[in-house]
Chain A
């Protein structure tokens, strides 16, 4: 049984009935200031002899996380800050694309201590009580806030067992052991050293193409009762010691189990398949091969509607370094083929987050990519870096080897890229026409339908700059369905649920993810564009519990579906 959306926000639902001609132009308006989300992020300023270099290496923590934390039917936003003593921000969606900063009342602003830097954030209902809780990841120990249901949150880190030090830059929630509780996978950049109290300055990558002295990952199993236990070694993930910049999950081999993709800076990405017994097996060599690139982002979607989840990874492709991004087409046989060049999604500068989303509701998943490391003065850092790189015998891991950047620009002022999916075989770059080609130093992208009109909007988080909000004003967008899935036997957030939509034109799959994409978490409310199809022949949900249900949902509506109610 499906439940029509009953929250107050239902009234805000706009039926978007325009039929896509295939020539619909994607269009956005930037409304950050008007919506009151244009809050400036600050990167951490270090003191001491390594201040300059450490500041650059830790400038990735401008994150955005989207969830309806108070269940009022409107997607809310959490924006991180990383400056010393600076507060993060919880922004309550009041409706009509207006947000109110409720951080102080909620009690979730902290985290930027003398010895810790906020780097990422994640909403997830760890205790399945129906209210999203909040995890704040740090270069330091994480903070877990329990949602107290009254607009306030309680710091439960100490009793959670999560208070272990790591230089975490990315985190996703997923139920890797299918026990109905959401677990956590942390991607750690530096190895676990206190960057504020360095005795040994050899903390940077030993090799800029094949480094293995990073922080790897940490897998925290949700043991229930609000407790987490470190399951990294038991799960077979401890041997990975790369410079993890992002972690992503998805069922890549269609066996009903969540698998893992790790994007790593200074060396190869890694792919692990879930064995179904609490362990993973690495399949990097066979599936994707070993690379030497600077992996920044993992997002997962079936971009060509062939029933297999694909992966998009950003790398560095700039005037001085031409790595090319990777769009891993899932061949369905345990291997992936990089089709970034062939599909036109190769070059996005110094890439950070990238998010798949059907922005014109034509049934084909588009892709938005943010980029830019450091936009500063007119001089560029590259020649200085070149001198360092080619110096005979240079030790890259030594902070003292790296020249100070000062006010120089490094891959800055880069234009964002919006790739419109042209039928699953190629993408057309339309950022300028869609009015999203800003040149901020982007980091994260939080997708959500913030006005419940069936068109995906997003918030872009930027390093040392204010966030931007892009309201989707595409005219003539196709039909759509949004599903809010509620797990009962499965985890309440339904992370990992796979939904198959059969329309007269095509079969589409969508999967709920728990925070894929660099420095960002999109809404877990599932959005699917249907193009001109005003009817859907069948909707099948494969819940993480294994239950498969056939449900009905009206087109151009938001519908809540509870696991087990269809029987």
Chain B
């Protein structure tokens, strides 16, 4: 067992070293200049920005992305999705930072998400900012803001044609209520989600979990030291 534990821990340590900014040797992705050029010519293209960030994650060049998006957002201040991707670029860097730097990065991400929403109200904007608030420890009193955003996202999706990714709102909004010790509200939201998405495993798990298992699940879900999946490709899936 010790060997298994040690092997597991070695892998974890390796991941942690990456996270802690150990010198890596990121292979320069030759596609980065091309992706940057594409974004420069279409700064509001959410998908192009997403493709670029995914390439950045593969190479670990987070500061390059932040510098690029800063310039892009400055040069195109009205491009809402440039700000949205800029915010995601901060989120992408969080796992590589120390605990205090993580707070700073997360806060800068929120600033960009808010700017994007000021420019254009959108489901993805509200869902993203609302979900981001849930990662903040309760003591910072931001969970309520997250619930408000997610409720707005829910209203928007109910007025829109149905998409598979809309289930995310039910999951996150229920989680927000659960974090606020509003278990009944959480269950009601999850149940409503299950009615619309009857096969969703995440909702079933939440509704079937014991309180202690649910606590562990929520803690694990919103563990800020782990990488948050910011890949938006689900938005374009058919």
Which chain A residues have a beta carbon within 8 Å of chain B's beta carbons? 208-210, 267-268, 285, 289-294, 304, 316, 319-323, 329, 331, 337-339, 341-343, 380, 382-383, 386, 389-390, 424-425
Does the CB pair B98–A209 fall under 8 Å? yes
Does the CB pair B103–A339 fall under 8 Å? no
Cα–Cα, bound, A208→B224 (Å): 17
Q: A289-B17, A331-B6, A389-B100 are in contact. Are A341 and B12 (CB under 8 A)?
A: yes
Does the CB pair A382–B139 fall under 8 Å? yes
Q: What A residues does B205 contact at CB under 8 A?
A: none
Does the CB pair B224–A209 fall under 8 Å? no
Contact indicator per residue, chain B 18-59, by CB within 8 Å of chain A (1) or not (0): 001110000000000000000000000000000000000000
Q: What A residues does B101 contact at CB under 8 A?
A: 208-209, 292
Can you list 19 pairs linking A and B with CB atoms under 8 Å apart? A208-B100, A208-B101, A290-B20, A290-B21, A291-B16, A292-B101, A294-B99, A320-B137, A322-B99, A322-B223, A337-B10, A338-B9, A338-B13, A339-B9, A341-B9, A342-B5, A389-B104, A390-B104, A424-B2
Pick from B9, B20, B138: contact of A329, CB under 8 Å: B9
Does the CB pair B223–A289 fall under 8 Å? no
CB closest residue in chain B, given A292: B98
Does the CB pair B2–A304 fall under 8 Å? yes
Does the CB pair A339–B6 fall under 8 Å? yes
Cα–Cα, bound, A331→B107 (Å): 39
CB closest residue in chain A, given B7: A337
- Cβ of B122 within 8 Å of any chain A Cβ, yes or no, is no
- Given contacts A329-B6, A337-B9, A389-B103, list 20 more A-B pairs with CB under 8 A: A208-B98, A209-B100, A267-B98, A285-B22, A289-B13, A290-B20, A292-B20, A293-B98, A319-B137, A319-B138, A319-B139, A320-B140, A337-B6, A342-B5, A342-B8, A383-B139, A386-B103, A386-B140, A390-B103, A425-B5
Q: A316-B99, A323-B99 are in contact. Are A380 and B139 (CB under 8 A)?
A: yes
CB closest residue in chain A, given B225: A322
Q: A320-B137, A382-B139 are in contact. Are A338 and B12 (CB under 8 A)?
A: yes
Near A by CB (< 8 A), chain B positions 90-109 give 97-101, 103-104, 107
Bin chain B's interface residue count.
20 to 34
Cα–Cα, bound, A209→B19 (Å): 13
Q: What B residues does A208 contact at CB under 8 A?
A: 98, 100-101
CB closest residue in chain A, given B219: A322
- Cβ of B162 within 8 Å of any chain A Cβ, yes or no, is no
Question: Which secondary structure dominates chain B's binding surface?
Answer: helix
Which of B20, B98, B139, B224: most chain A Cβ within 10 A? B98
- Cβ of B201 within 8 Å of any chain A Cβ, yes or no, is no
CB closest residue in chain A, given B23: A285
**What is the count of residue pairs linking A and B with beta-carbon distances less than 8 angstroms?**
85
Cα–Cα, bound, A346→B79 (Å): 44
- CB proximity of B44 to chain A, nearest CB, Å: 25
- Cβ of B141 within 8 Å of any chain A Cβ, yes or no, is yes
Q: A321-B99, A383-B139 are in contact. Are A425 and B2 (CB under 8 A)?
A: yes
Cα–Cα, bound, A290→B223 (Å): 21
Does the CB pair A339–B99 fall under 8 Å? no
Cα–Cα, bound, A390→B104 (Å): 5
Cα–Cα, bound, A48→B188 (Å): 55
Q: What B residues does A290 contact at CB under 8 A?
A: 17, 20-22
- Cβ of B1 within 8 Å of any chain A Cβ, yes or no, is yes
Does the CB pair A289–B141 fall under 8 Å? no
Cα–Cα, bound, A321→B223 (Å): 11
CB closest residue in chain B, given A208: B100
- CB proximity of B227 to chain A, nearest CB, Å: 15
Q: What B residues does A294 contact at CB under 8 A?
A: 99
Does the CB pair A289–B98 fall under 8 Å? no
Cα–Cα, bound, A209→B94 (Å): 13
CB closest residue in chain B, given A337: B9
- CB proximity of A377 to chain B, nearest CB, Å: 15
Q: What A residues does B223 contact at CB under 8 A?
A: 322
Does the CB pair B99–A292 fall under 8 Å? yes
Cα–Cα, bound, A390→B110 (Å): 11
Q: What B residues does A320 contact at CB under 8 A?
A: 137, 139-140
Does the CB pair A390–B97 fall under 8 Å? no
Cα–Cα, bound, A487→B22 (Å): 43
Does the CB pair A342–B9 fall under 8 Å? yes
Cα–Cα, bound, A60→B9 (Å): 32
Does the CB pair B103–A291 fall under 8 Å? no
Q: What B residues does A268 contact at CB under 8 A?
A: 20
Q: A320-B140, A322-B224 are in contact. Are A338 and B16 (CB under 8 A)?
A: yes
Which of A208, A268, A292, A331: most chain B Cβ within 10 A? A292
Q: What B residues does A339 contact at CB under 8 A?
A: 5-6, 9
Cα–Cα, bound, A444→B21 (Å): 32
CB closest residue in chain B, given A386: B140
Cα–Cα, bound, A343→B6 (Å): 11
Cα–Cα, bound, A227→B53 (Å): 61
Q: What B residues does A210 contact at CB under 8 A?
A: 98
Q: What B residues does A386 contact at CB under 8 A?
A: 103, 140
- CB proximity of A132 to chain B, nearest CB, Å: 39
Q: What B residues does A390 contact at CB under 8 A?
A: 103-104, 107
CB closest residue in chain B, given A394: B104
Cα–Cα, bound, A285→B23 (Å): 10
What are the nearest 9 A-B pairs in CB distance? A209-B98, A292-B98, A208-B100, A390-B107, A289-B17, A337-B9, A320-B137, A339-B9, A321-B99
Cα–Cα, bound, A344→B98 (Å): 22
Does the CB pair A289–B9 fall under 8 Å? no
- CB proximity of A562 to chain B, nearest CB, Å: 38
Does the CB pair B141–A383 fall under 8 Å? yes
Cα–Cα, bound, A285→B22 (Å): 8
Q: What A residues does B107 contact at CB under 8 A?
A: 390
- CB proximity of B144 to chain A, nearest CB, Å: 14
Q: What A residues does B8 contact at CB under 8 A?
A: 342
Near A by CB (< 8 A), chain B positions 121-174 give 137-141
Cα–Cα, bound, A16→B179 (Å): 50
Does the CB pair B22–A289 fall under 8 Å? yes
Q: A289-B16, A319-B137 are in contact. Are A209 and B99 (CB under 8 A)?
A: yes
Q: What B residues does A337 contact at CB under 8 A?
A: 6, 9-10, 13
Q: What A residues does B100 contact at CB under 8 A?
A: 208-209, 321, 389
Cα–Cα, bound, A290→B18 (Å): 10
Q: What B residues does A209 contact at CB under 8 A?
A: 97-101
Contact indicator per residue, chain B 206-224, by CB within 8 Å of chain A (1) or not (0): 0000000000000000011
CB closest residue in chain B, given A389: B103
Cα–Cα, bound, A390→B102 (Å): 10
Does the CB pair A293–B104 fall under 8 Å? no
- CB proximity of B21 to chain A, nearest CB, Å: 7
Q: What A residues does B22 contact at CB under 8 A?
A: 285, 289-290
